[in-house]
Amino acid sequence: MAPQGLKILVVDCVEKEALPLGGVDGWFRAALRKCSPKVEVKTVRASTPDWEKEVAWADAVMISGSPRDAFADDEWTHALMAKVARLLEKKKPVLGVCYGHQILGRVQGGKVERCEGGWELGETKVETTAEGAGSELLKGVPKEMKVMQSHRDCVLEVPGKGVLLASSPHTRVQAAQWAERVYGVQFHPEFTGEVIRGVWAARRDKWRDQVKFNLDEKLDQAKECPDGLAIFRNFLKMISSS
């Protein structure tokens, strides 16, 4: 069990109303409380001009996924990247999830593009690297993890002093340490089967005939992946011991 009473600031990069099961706030709150029942969660929209003021309240920050493209060169993306760069200067522990992982990679000098293999969806297998097996984030998880995916963009390489922690044939950078106490995972530890089916409810018809796999089977068989929750639990333990 992770230590109690930690304060986590979640940066919501989806910013949409009427999402299933409480949206980003609900998904992260439920997942984190499974890891540590008394954890405090506060969620701020990524576009809020002064969300960085909330960082002082938090023991750590999580940056959510998003339907946006992290490789975009628009005003919204560049504003978020500037905020994240300032966040990293505060030396707080940070964990990026999917889009959040990609934004962290881009801020650190990595390149984000569409995945060559297209969408990666549902429960998949990801393998830890030797460095990953020895990291605080992946401590104790199986060498071959089962995790929940929902993405078609990816970070191509881990630049500079970053460390590749987990990989797969579809997506080379599945998990990375971008800087000291700054991590990212391409997959979604906060997703349950119910969440991913809700997220994809309006997308099924559009993408069913455009992907290289049985989309309905992937979604209908999706369930919560304990290895993903173990990573959240490790992140909380890391915060409490720092």
Q: Which residues are catalytic?
A: 98, 188, 190
- Kindly state the tokens that stand for 75: 């005003």
CA distance 132 to 135: 5
Residue located via tokens 């990212």: 184
Q: Which residue do the tokens 């709150």 mark?
A: 29
- Of 16, 20, 15, 31, which Cα lies nearest the Cα of 232? 31
Q: Residue 88 corresponds to which amino acid?
A: L
Helix (H) or strand (E) holding 196: helix 193-200
Give ∠ CA 221-222-224 in degrees, rounded to 5.
Answer: 135
Contact 182, 112 (CB under 8 A): no
